[in-house]
Structures are given as structure tokens and as C-alpha cells.
Structure 1
Amino acid sequence: MRACAGGAGAGVSVMVKEGFADEEDFHEGRRAGAAFSSNAVKQGHGEALPPIPIGDNVLDLVVIGCGPAALALAAESAKLGVKDGLIGPDLPFTNNYGVWEDELKDLELEGCIEHVWQNTIVYLDYDSDPIMIPRAYGRVCRDKLHEELLRTTFLLSAASYLDSRVESIVEASNGISLVACGHNIVVSCRLGTVASGAASGKLLQYEVGGPKVAVQTAYGIEVEVENNPYDPSVMASEEVMPFDLLKKKLLTRLKTEWSWIPVGGSLPNTEQKNLVVGAAACMVHPTTGYSLARSLSEAPKCASVIATILKPDHYKVVPRRQMTWKTLWPQEMRRQRAFFLFGPALILQQDTNDIRTFFHTFFRLPTWMWQGFLGSTLSSADLILFALYMFVLAPYNLRKGLVRHLLCDPSRGTMIGTYLTFLI
């Protein structure tokens, strides 16, 4: 599980952000994936939908990005009569998504799961039995998910599309947003929404002085072997084969994957006109790194608000912006997020043994509690109860660490301050 990756020795680092937290420094690891994607096969967006009108035409909404959050928002908005367009490279999904099966069933997307493990096993160390979790976990088929979202977005709606990267978004004097794309193409819209993932810094501004950004990294090789498929006669050679060549031959046969997931960090600056959804809007769970189910489930709500504020009687910029941001990040969700940020700050300070102890305690909680924590379904009040349960079940050393963290770590100030707004 992602939550215990730090205890298993996976690379985790924290980087301090100065000023606006929109620098792209911590996205450097994604550039390798971008290079891979640039050689990928086109996915047929342009064949499935009409092109975005260029010139004097003004769209109601432009969604920037072609990932799950962008496709879902474009579909839901178009269903409500919003004249929208999608802008982004026509590329396949490159991320591998893992989800709890029931979460995708709730979204009626269970057909996109390519493999399901009926029981989940968590290994924390070699000296104790693994933790058995009776909850089905699935691996999403990237192609099936892309196909389903594309079908819903374009074949069942009136969205249009432009295959291009976006360089900037500026506001004209008449309040219209001008989206500058490649090849000097400019698309006009009443509202621009950024849904191009975590590496969207150049298009956005984030709150100043927010929490640090943590990065969850992993590298894996997928191997499935039933037997040795090679004839013995091809496994020997008169000439010595160099190790570099052997390594190259092996890697060509294996599926490799890397992930670079920024978690935590500052929320988007609500004074900017452009809206943000998905990972760009910090919808990645700050503790676990999960975001797919939440980004997809939030799309109908976001689309409903966008459709409302684009009506003629809601055209004033400031009320429109405030209404949308309050929907995306209401105070209750801000309290939940402040609590979630408190946890990783504690984990990052622990050694391997302490992290193992933490997760042994975590999975002793009532099922509804730890499942709700991982799925972002616990209310801010539930999270306080969660903390009390953890404290009661924890051994002495972990309790001491929890108390010290609560008294000394800067993240406690953010959490307490955000919770106090509940009482004001």
C-alpha cells in the first residue's frame, strides 16, 4: 500500500517552497514521462469530437488537460448545456491507478478494472504476520478507463477539442479569458479551468506560506512468470555476452513503472480567476497519494456550479469566482485536509521501526475508521475521534511521539487554526 511505502524504504523527500508555490522544480521527475508520452500513439480525440472553433467564437468553458479529471469535468459540464472545449495533447494515460473496488463501483466504472484482489495484504516487516484486509483492491486498466471517459465525454456530449499544449491564460479587458496554445492559436472562453495534473504550476498561483510539499516516489518492475519459456539451446553462447547487453535484453522484456506524486502543499490561490480541479487543485490525498476516485466523484458537483455561475445573472467575476472556490474547497474539506497534512508530517519524522508501529496501530482501528481515512470519507469530527482511537491503541513510544508532534510541529498550527473556524 502507498501509505506504508515510507516504512519499506521508498524514497520520500520534503521540499520547501518560497513565495507562490507554483514552481515546477518538484515536477522534474515527470519530464521523463513526458518524453515517453511524446512518442505515444494518438488516442483519437480529434476523430471522436469536433474541433474547437477558433476566431471570434467564445466558449463558455475551456478545460485544460486530457486526464481523468479533465475528461470527467468536460463530460459533466456539457451534459448541463455548457458549451465547453478540451485542450491538451492527444496522448494515452501513462499512470497506473490502484483503487478500492467499491469506490469505482460507486462511480459505475468497475468495468475499467483489469484485475481484482479480493483480499488485500499489508506487509510491514519480516518478523510478524502480514495484515489481512477483507476489502477488494483493483488495478485499473488505463486504456479501458481512457476509452470509457472519452466515450462519455465526447460521444454523449457537445464538447469540442484541440490537440495542443497550453502556454498561458490571460484575462482580456472585457473579462474574457484568452487561452494561448501552440502554433499561435488563441481560444477565447468565459471561464478557464486547469485540470492538467500536478505539473500545472506555470498556469496557476497557490497560497503563500502554506505547508511544505512532500513527494511520494516509487519504481517498480512488473513480472509474472508461470515457468521458464526459453529453450535451453538459446540460453548459451560461444561468445561471452557483456553485462550491459544482458541488462538491456532483460529490461526490454519487463514492464517498468515510476511514480512521482506530490502530496500536501498549498491550496490554489482563490483570488485567481482560473479554476482548478483534480491533482492541480490538490485533490490528491495528502497521506496516501490517491486521487482518481475523488477527482471523478467531484466532477458532477463542480460542473453543476460552473453551469450555474455561467448563467447571465451570475456573470459578475468576483461572486462567480468565490462561489466556485467555496464549492471546490468548503471549510469542512479544508479542516479534513489540515488533519491529513498533520499525519504525513509525523510519519516523515519517524524511523522505519516507528513507521511500522504506526501502521500496525492504524489497521487495528475499527474498519469503518481506517477505510474512511484512506477514502477521504471521514468528517472533520470523525477525524478527531480517529486521533483519540489511535492514541488509545498506540504503544507508549508512539503516544509520546504523537504528543511531541502535536506540541511542536508547525503543522499543528495549521490544523488547529483551521479547526477553530468551525467554532467561530
Structure 2
Amino acid sequence: MSKENMPDVLVLGAGPAGMAIASALGKEKLDVEVLSPNGPDEPWPNTYGIWGKEVDQLGLQDLLEYRWKNTVSFFGHGALEEQDDENKATEHSLDYGLFDKKKLHNYWFNECNKSFIKWHQGFANKIHFEKYKSTVTTKDGKIYSARLVVDATGYDPVFLKLKSCGPLAVQTCYGIVGNFSKPPLKKGQFVLMDYRNDHLNDEQKKEPPTFLYAMDMGDGKYFLEETSLGLVNPLTMENLKERLEKRLSYRNISITSMQHEELGLFLPMNMPIPDFKQQILGYGGAASMVHPASGYLIGNVLRRAPLVAKAVSEAIKNKNLSTYHIARKGWETLWSKELIRKKSLYQFGLEKLMRFDEKLLREFFGSFFQLPKNQWYGFLTDTLSLKEIVYAMCVMFIKAPWSVKKGLMIMHGREFKMLLRIIFPNI
């Protein structure tokens, strides 16, 4: 083994996932360095939502910019106003928050600095593996070596190899932050999903369904986002923008000023689990940690970082372990057999939802949110055990309308293999 002076871990990427795992590794007393195209003090472009209960358990509630108690969804036919029973809001009775991304960034940056993590700026271009180290070369020729490299470069990872799983399902959205001629939702309200569609014509109702994700940001400012849950052939930004404009026009609401326009978020919902037989570890979106059924990522990234860091630390302390075996110890913690089975179940659910038409989708979510709060919350946040998830889904199946039962039972394409992976996670 080489005796040269090199860090224990080189983390690629300085986003939330990169900083979270770097900080956790530093707390394990490992020598950690981070390589990223942007400097560590570069602001993050995205915003991150999280359920209040989840952020409280993480002890990070002070990092929220907004927190709503009035959280609802709509699964009826009508427009935004409540006019009859079908348009009555589904009350979630659970706080939802948005992180202040500057506070969140500064928190992790400071946590990393407490462990004396070193920062390097550059584009990782090549990687060379030896038995006891990995060496990364940047586009400008700089070289960095470490016992282990962690790829946290997002949904299109630089070096990490993913298993083949067929076409990816993508969540897309178009959103605006601005002021309006009249309030588009109630004061202090957060709308998780509004699937009502009276603003669409008959032809548009036959197209893949979309929902409104919306929040009152105070002082007359609102965030409205037209969202497509997940499609292999995603809807265009023009289509989503048109739907949002029609939604507002139906209520005689106009935009009086716009502070921000979200021109599109392309979030892969069913990324395959990475190939564990490689001499590199992944984390965050690069390691397929996004929740296939909800699109949530940040909670999982924050919860699992200490566990993965501990496993990596224990492996690195064994000087006889190769880099490959150190990475395997990390993978075994990041993606245990139970977590693989859970992901397969979530992917099965997403595959079903992508095939549901607008009416069936509304009926499904109407049934889903009739589950006890701890069950639907645990499903969306990936905090239930596999046994608890299966039990919750059985309860929902029994209580759901026959149309939903039929939709869940009919098998297409990859769904059978997803069910098999729940039993045989290594296939």
C-alpha cells in the first residue's frame, strides 16, 4: 500500500448531499477533502421542502424560512374555490416547511469547517483506481488522490455507474413567485397537490394530468407551480405554463408582478440503484436516493449521512482493506437489502401512477391520504419499515374504490420485475 500523504476521503460535489456526507465523515475524525466545480461558498440554486415533523426530528427547524400549519390537497373536479363537497380540501394536519437555502448552506459549510475539511475547485474529468487508492484528475490537470472517492455530483453523476433499468420517469414543473390581482389561495395556506381540472378543455383532460403545488409566502406574495408527477415522455414547459395560466384565468386572477420564474425542474424519479461492484461510493441524487413516489430527497440525505460515514470510518481504520472493500461497506449501509426492497416497492407504485389517467390518479390520492397520518407521512418520507409500508398499502387497497384496486392489479412491463426485487433484492 502506498505510504504517500493523502486524505481518507475525497468527496465530489458541494451541494447538500456532498456537504452532508463530508460533514458526517469529518465528524468521524476522517481526513476529508471536497472537489467541486463551484466554490464551497457558492449559493445553492434550488429550494428544499420538508415536512415539519421531519425537520424537527433532525433538529434543524431553525433553518426553515417558511413553515405552514394549514396544509391541504384537493382531488375534486372544480377550480380553486371550494364550492361543494367534491371540492372540499383534504386536510393534512401536518406542518410543512421550506428551508432557507442560505441558512442551510451556511450550516453545512460551518459543520464541514469544524472538521477542517479542505476545499478544492475544479471539474473532475478522469478517475484511476488502484488497490488502496483512487486518483481523480480535473479538466485543468490537477490531481487528487484518496483512500475512497464519494461521488455526490447529482442526478447525472461524473463517475458513478448505474444499473440499466430502461427509460427514466421525469418530474417536471413550471412555477412563478409573484403578486396577483387577488389571492390564489387562502392566507397562510400550503397546497401540496391540487388536481382539480375544470379549467381544462375536454382534450386537455385526456392528456397526462398535472397538479398545482402552491404556498402563501406572506406580504401578498405567492409561489404557484404546475407539476407533472412523473412521465417517461415529460410534458413541455410550454404545456405546463399554459395549464397554470388557464388555472388562474378560470378564477379571473392575473399576475400583477413576477419576482421569479421557475423555468423547469427535471427530476428523475426512478433512477436505478448504482452498481455496488465498483471502487467508488455514491451519495445523494447520484446514488439514487430520491424517493420514487414523492420526489423527496433532502430528508433522506440528512438522516443517512451519519450511518454511512460511520460504516466508512470503521472500514478505513482497517489499513488492510482495499478501496473496493471500503466502498462496499459504504454501499451495504447506504443500500441495505431492506432499503432496496423498499425502493422497489416505491418504484412499483410510481410505475402504476404513471399509467393512471386523471380520474384514477385523483381517486388513488384521495384513498392514500385517508390512511392514518403516520402511515402516509412515513410512506412519503421513507421512514416506515418495509413491513409497515406493506401493511399500510394493504389497508389502502382494502378501502380503495374498485377502480383503484383494478388499476393496481393490472400488470404492465417492468412492474412484475419490481415486485420480484422486493423478494429477491439482488436481481
TM-score range, shorter chain: 0.7 to 0.9
CA distance in 2, matches of 1:211, 1:370: 28
CA drift of 1:177 comes to 0.8
> Counterpart of 1:220 in structure 2: which amino acid?
G
1:256 and 2:207 matched: no
What SS class does the counterpart of residue 353 from structure 1 fall into? Answer: helix
Compute the TM-score of the two structures, normalised by the length of structure 1: 0.76
Instruction: State the match for 1:177 in structure 2.
Output: 134
The equivalent of 2:27 in structure 1 is: 79
Q: What is the CA-CA distance between 1:419 and the residue it aligns to?
A: 2.0
Structure 1 residue 207 corresponds to structure 2 residue 163? yes
Give the Cα–Cα distance (whole angstroms) in 2 for the partners of residues 221 and 86 of structure 1: 34
Residue correspondence of structure 1 range 146-161 to structure 2 within 5 A:
146-154=105-113, 156-161=114-119
Greater shift after overlay, 284-293 or 89-98?
89-98
Inter-partner Cα distance in structure 2 for 1:312 and 1:180: 26
Q: Distance in 2 between matches of 1:71 and 1:160?
A: 12
Q: Compare the two structures and name the one with the higher helix fraction.
A: 1
Give the C-alpha shift of residue 320 in structure 1.
Answer: 2.6
Greater strand share, 1 or 2? Answer: 2
1:138 is aligned, of 92, 97, 102, to 97
Residue 370 of structure 1 and its aligned partner are, at CA, apart by 0.6
Deviation string, structure 1 residues 260-309 (Cα, Å, up to 9, x no partner): 11111211111110100111111100011000011011111111111111
Does the 8 Å CA contact 2:341/2:421 hold for their aligned counterparts? no
Structure 1 residue 416 displacement after superposition: 2.7
Q: What are the equivalent positions in structure 2 for 1:264-279 lying under 5 Å apart?
A: 264-279=270-285
CA contact (8 A) 1:314 1:320 kept: no
Question: For 1:124, which of 75, 84, 96 is the aligned residue?
Answer: 75
Percent identity between matched residues is 27
- CA change 1:111–1:361 in 2 (3 A) is same
Aligned to 1:16: none
Q: Distance in 1 between matches of 2:88 and 2:256?
A: 33
> In 2, Cα distance between the equivalents of 1:158 and 1:251?
48
Residue 410 of structure 1 corresponds to 414
Q: Which string of whole-angstrom CA distances, capped at 9 and with x for unpartnered residues, describes residues 333-389 of structure 1?
A: 011111000111011111111100110011111111111101101211112212211
Mapped to 2, the partners of 1:187 and 1:353 lie a distance apart of 54
Q: CA RMSD in A?
A: 2.3
One-letter identity of the residue aligned with 1:299: A
Q: Classify the secondary structure of the residue corresponding to 2:169.
A: strand
Q: Deviations over 1:122-143 (max 9, x none)?
A: 1223242121110000111111
Q: Which amino acid aligns with 1:95?
A: N
TM (normalized to structure 2)? 0.75
**Which residue is 1:66 aligned to?**
14
Distance 2:163 2:17 in 1: 22
CA distance in 1, matches of 2:23, 2:167: 34
**Aligned partner of 2:284: which letter?**
G
Q: Taking structure 1 as reference, are residues 169 and 421 closer, same or farther at Cα in structure 2, changes over 3 Å only? A: closer
Which structure 1 residue ranges, 5 or more long, are not aligned?
1-55, 230-249
The correspondence of residues 3-402 of structure 1 with structure 2, limited to 5 A, is 57-88=5-36, 89-90=38-39, 91-125=42-76, 126=78, 127-154=86-113, 156-172=114-130, 175-200=132-157, 202-208=158-164, 210=165, 212-224=167-179, 253-257=258-262, 258-402=264-408
What is the SS of the residue equivalent to 2:269? strand
The change in CA–CA distance for 1:304 and 1:226 in structure 2 (over 3 A counts) is: farther
How many residue pairs match? The answer is: 341
SS of the residue corresponding to residue 348 of structure 1 reads helix
Kept in 2, the 8 Å contact 1:308–1:314? The answer is no
Point out the more displaced range, 291-300 or 100-109: 100-109
1:116–1:139 CA contact under 8 A, matched in 2: yes
Q: Secondary structure at the match of 1:193?
A: strand
Aligned partners of 1:116 and 1:138 also within 8 Å: yes
Quote the Cα distance in structure 1 between the aligned partners of 2:416 and 2:320: 38
Cα displacement (A) at 1:57? 3.8
Q: Shift of residue 215 of structure 1?
A: 0.5
User: Could you list the runs of 5+ residues in structure 2 that have no partner in the other structure?
Assistant: 79-85, 183-218, 220-254
Contact 2:65–2:98 (CA<8 Å) still a contact in 1? yes
CA distance in 2, matches of 1:385, 1:297: 24
Paired residue type of 1:181: T
User: 1:419 and 2:413 equivalent?
Assistant: no
Q: Which amino acid aligns with 1:151?
A: N
| Deviations 1:118-163 (CA, angstroms, capped at 9, x unpaired) | 1211122324212111000011111111011111111x11210001
